[in-house]
Amino acid sequence: MNDEIQHILSGKSQVKHGDFIQTILSFLRRSEATSDLVKEDKHFKEKETAHLVNYISEEKFWIENINLTNYISQGAEQKVYLQDEKSVIKLNDSIYYTSWKDYLNNLLLNNYFFSDTAYELLGFYRNENVLYAVVEQPFVKATEKTNLELVKQFMESNGFENTRNNDYINKKIGVILEDLHDENVLTQNGILFFIDTVFYII
């Protein structure tokens, strides 16, 4: 991992909407360092979530009133609701990640690489004992179908190598970016917008 990425994830450098995300990450790092949390433990995420829930309650980071009427879509990891003509609300349970810390790192990396579709972490929501991060993101309306060859060219021009299907890796900076299919990268007036990114750190 290069220094710039490391500084962003550690909170030494700022990205758009990064302050609150880095606040939660700082707590998770402290919690991991001062508790029995061990990432190799098969119950790690369950324990991490319990620590996080307590912290959310103490700091009053719960979002109680969410308008869930304007439903747009749902994937394996999140539910999407139209907030207004300019933004969407996404409820993400971090299922793609082995820890909440990894999910929050994903948000920071998205905001670093794709500031035009930056996530703003608003707080957290719980439904049927499932914890969700509540994020707001600019609403992008596609005007044409995304050409995945153009996505590949864009990624390669920015130092990423196509590994398989719609997955990419940048070994120089130590980042993997997956699942860049035509529902996660939209095209509006000829411009690519990365609206659902799945970043991993090598």
Q: What is the mean pLDDT of residues 95-103?
A: 94
The DSSP output letter for 133 is E
* Predicted confidence (pLDDT) at residue 42 exceeds the cutoff of 80: no
Provide φ and ψ at 190, rounded to 5°.
Answer: 85, 0
- The pTM assigned to this predicted structure is 0.92
Q: Are residues 83 and 67 in contact, defined by beta-carbon separation less than 8 angstroms?
A: yes
Q: How confident is the model at residue 69 (pLDDT cuts 50, 70, 90)?
A: confident
3-state secondary structure of 31: helix
The DSSP output letter for 196 is S
Distance between start and end Cα atoms, the chain? 7
| CA distance linking residue 177 with residue 110, whole number of Å | 10
